[in-house]
Structure 1
Amino acid sequence: MSTREQHDILGELFREDRNLAAVPGLEELDSLIHACLAPKTPQPAARKKVLPLKSKAGASTKKTTHYLREDVFDGLTQAKVILKRLLPAGAKGKASKSNLVNYAVNTLLREIEEKGAQSSIIKKILEKK
């Protein structure tokens, strides 16, 4: 087949005024392309587990500012002091305020994941509306 006799199939596909019957097989190709692009019915997504929040080796920490009520701040400080008294000598360093906040957030996420809308934190938030 010479160059003059060859059809520009891609040109036919992308032209707005295309005549699908003009090129043999073009209609089938077009329907196949559109069948593959057709939106599929949404499958129920597998619920992504939030937990466990595992610390990654070499992961950095981020400095952040959060405003706490004074009694909560005092409670955090008191919890740190009490834990340092209760923990053995080698583990006292793990009772930092940052670690306590990390433990608390992990515990909170675990409860929300396990109990969902029935978790105590959600109930407390809804009570304060």
Structure 2
Amino acid sequence: MSLNILAVDDSRTMRDMLNLALGQAGFTTHLAEDGEHGLEVLTQLSPDAIITDINMPNLDGFGFIDAVRKQQKHRGIPILVLTTESAPELRARARKAGATGWIVKPFDPTKLVQAITKVAG
């Protein structure tokens, strides 16, 4: 299954890991280094799913999710949060902003691909 995925994370290492794991699954990955850059990339594509970190400079994951959900064109795109955070109140805040799911780093590539396939496939 070939899906287009937008991955937003301020860590180059994490972006590289996501690019590798998703590429091996046959997905096309578009990368952004923070929420602002993610919104710029989003103007040029309509991904099947978005993966975003929470703690990023310029525009954090909560702000990014909120901005995506305010755009009619992208309102229905599944958004998975991939973060080191695990606090229930942060999960609830992400859900309220419009996140579809939550995965805690470090991630298992197989489980990440399964989660993406479940929400976008």
Q: TM class, shorter-chain normalised?
A: under 0.3
Structure 2 length normalisation: TM-score? 0.23
Q: Please tell me whether Structure 1 or Structure 2 has the larger radius of gyration of its CA atoms.
A: 1
Which gives a bigger RCO, structure 1 or 2 (Cα 8 Å, sep 6+)?
Answer: 2
- Richer in strand (by share): 2
